[in-house]
Structure 1
Amino acid sequence: LGSHVIFVTGGLGGVQQAFAESCDIAARVWNVLPKGQRSGYIQGKDLNAGKDLDQRREVFSALGELYLSFEGGPGVAAEARAAVQRGATVLPVPRTGGASSGMFDFPASVLARPWFATEEQWMLLNDQEADVAKVASACVSAVESFVAHQLAVQ
C-alpha cells in the first residue's frame, strides 16, 4: 500500500495499539487523540483533535475514505455511522464480534459484502474458525483492491 495510505487509529489500547505497532516503520500511522492525551504507542505519530473523546470521534469520522473495524462497542458503531453518513466506506471484520458484527446499531449497510472484496475474502472476514493469517491476508487484499480503484479514478 506504501505511500498511498495513511493509517489512522483512535490511539486506544488493544486492537488499535496492536495494529499500529505491527506496521512497518515506513508506514504512515497517525494516532488521533483528544487534546493533552498520548497513545504511548511505539509506532506512529500522535495528533490531538478535540477537547474530549466525543469531539475526537467527530474528527476521526471525518478523516478517512476507508475505515476498517474490528470488534468495538457503541463508540465504534457511532464512528462507523458518521463515516457512512458522509459517504466513506467501512469494512468491518465481523468475525471479531461486537460492533463489527452488527451490534450497537452498527450500520447494517456495511454488513453486506462490499464491492471491492471477493466472495472468498468476505467469507474469511466473517468466519470465526478461519486461520487468522488467512483472514489478515483477505483483509489486506480487499484494502488493496479499494486503494487501486481509488487511484484509478483520481
Structure 2
Amino acid sequence: MSTSYPGTVNEDTPPQPTSPENPAGAEDEAVIALAHSLLDAARTGDAAALLSLVDQGAPVNLRDGAGNSPLMLAAYHGHAELVRELAARGADVDLMNDRGQSPLAGVAFKGFTDAARVLLEAGADPDLGRPSALETATYFERAEILSLIQARRA
C-alpha cells in the first residue's frame, strides 16, 4: 500500500491558474516548479542544486506522483554520492514508491553496485518490497550486490 501525500507533484500535475479568484496561483506555480527542479536534480545527479534546496528546507522525502523520492531517483540513476548525501540529510533509504519498490531493489535491477553499497551502509533493508532487493539481485544475477547483502547479514 502506498503512502502518497495530498499535493504530490509530478510531470502530470497541471499548474494552478493565477486569477483574481486564485491569487495564490503564482505561489502554487512556484512551489510546483521548485518540486520539479528538486526531482529533476535527483534524476540528473545535480548534487549542488539538490542539496542546496534540501539544505534550505526543501523536504528531503518529497515524492512525485509515482511515489519516488529524490533518493529513489538518485539511486535508480546511479548517483551513489548523491544518495550518500541525501541519506546523511535524513532521507529515508527504505521509502518505497507506489509500486512497492525500494531504492535498493531499484539499484539491484539497474546493477549499480556503488549505490547499493551506499544504501546498505545507510541501513537499507534488502528484504523490503516486492520484489525485494535480494530477490531482484538474485533474478538478475547481480553477484556483487548479492555479496554486499550477504556481508551485511554476517
Same structural fold, with TM-score higher than 0.5 when normalized by the shorter chain: no
Q: TM-score, normalised by structure 1?
A: 0.38
Q: TM-score, normalised by structure 2?
A: 0.38
Larger relative contact order (CA 8 Å, sep ≥ 6): 2
Greater fraction of residues in strand: 1
Greater fraction of residues in helix: 2
Q: Choose 1 or 2 for highest CA Rg.
A: 2
